[in-house]
Copies of this chain bind each other. A is one copy, B any other.
Amino acid sequence: MPDPTGPDSSKASGAPPEDPRLPLTGLRVVELGHYIAAPFATRLLADLGAEVIKVEPPEGDPHRDWGAKLNGQAVWFSVHGRNKLSVTLDLKSEEGRRRVRALCARADALVENFRPGYLERIGLGPEVLREENPRLVIARVSGYGQDGPYRDKPAFGAIGEAIGGLRHLTANPGQTELPPPRCGVSISDDLAGMYAALSLVSACWGRDRGPEGKGTTIDLDLVTSVFSLMEGMLPEYGLLGRVRQPMGAALPSAAPTNTYPCADGKWLAVAGNSDLIYRRLMTRIGRQDLADDPRMAGNSGRCAHAAELDAAIAAWTRTLPAKDAQEALEAVQVPCSRLYDMRDCVEDPHFRAREMMLPVQDPLLGAEVPHPAAPFRFEGIAPRDMIRWPGPAIGQHNDHVFRTLLGEEEKTL
């Protein structure tokens, strides 16, 4: 029986309200996910209205323990788990596996990111699950994919970034003792999760065009997801033998455009690389001599003297906080921006006007939590209406899902 004082008694423990305006309302997705990639895929689907049933081990997704905490709870999970139903199942028990099969029998799709082969080993492979539900779409996310020689390699952090080709580019060119920085966010997991969501919904659209539609299995991996962003670099190498090299903060073919240090330790990115903008920029920073210098009249001349121009601009930016330097240059129509940290984002009037941060009451954290808006805005749906509830407690929806959805007797709960 649910404890009337526990989280099971909150409104969300019953059948949470559906919003018929959201595009994926009516799509049921089971998540056998942990950490980032699969849960990010289902978070996007849940923002879009899907009914996502997150299956967690009795101790919860280990992601619930990641990062800064309030009230003993990781604050990231408030966002990462939002709009989802949480149920607890022990996949090592026959009872747990039976319920997974029962959930998948009633679902449109499954998203999972176990190591390749694991679901098959515990008797929950695609063939088994589609025996009961031939319409089930299964999106599988892994480090290296479901086959190939690296399939079983441990996916240590940031492999996608390193092996997919991104981290080679996120670097300063030439000689430096400083290694290329990490991207700073879980970019390869995020990309794979986004592709999982896109290919899953596409498979559902194709399946649902006719009454006889069949499910399918989709193989997503971190390396290919990152590799997909490598622009024209593969044909450039294959046809012309060119290997794209990192450019740091500058561009080799335009000047001055770079990122400059400011008095408060922050950085200002400036795009001063057109003839007219260049003159306005140099005049504003008090270097009329360079504005009028015939060597700098065209882009090729400026590229040849980029170091001299960068030094002049940096000498000026170093005298001002980044925000003031930005305002001074914007006043003379020089495109620029400081590199925003989270405080800059929160204080920015455009972020506020666009409701990019939304307060959400979170009973687990015991606080009103600022959530980022969903990254897609639909006509007639306010950003706040796409956040129906924050990340749930572990197993908060066991009762609703097992009893109402699976139709189990109370005694088996």
Contact = CB atoms under 8 A, between A and B. Distances in A.
Contact of A247 (B66, B181, B197, B259): B181
Contacts of A276: none
A17 interface: no
A357 B267 CA distance: 38
A325 to B, nearest CB: 14
A170 B149 contact: no
Given A261-B177, A353-B149, A345 B162 contact: no
A378 B345 contact: no
Looking at chain A, what size class is its interface with the partner chain? 35 or more
A260 interface: yes
Interface stretch (A286-294, A298-306, A367-375): A367-375
Interface string A200-221: 0111111111000000111110
B22 A67 contact: no
Nearest to A169: B184
Contacts of A207: 23
A231 to B, nearest CB: 6
A75 to B, nearest CB: 4
A190 interface: yes
| Identical chains bound together, number | 2
B372 A234 contact: yes
A224 B181 contact: no
A102 to B, nearest CB: 23
25 contacts: A25-B206, A67-B236, A68-B242, A70-B240, A75-B240, A80-B231, A147-B354, A156-B335, A157-B271, A162-B340, A168-B340, A170-B183, A179-B249, A179-B259, A190-B229, A198-B201, A199-B376, A201-B202, A218-B378, A220-B376, A223-B356, A227-B356, A227-B375, A234-B370, A238-B357
Given A166-B183, A218-B378, 20 more contacts: A23-B202, A68-B242, A75-B240, A79-B235, A145-B377, A147-B354, A165-B344, A168-B267, A169-B184, A178-B249, A185-B231, A187-B187, A195-B375, A208-B209, A217-B378, A217-B379, A224-B356, A228-B375, A234-B357, A237-B342
Interface of A: 22-27, 44, 48-49, 66-68, 70, 74-80, 126, 144-150, 154, 156-159, 162-172, 176-187, 190-191, 194-199, 201-209, 216-220, 223-225, 227-240, 242-249, 257-261, 267, 269, 271, 335, 337-346, 348-351, 353-354, 356-357, 365, 367, 369-380
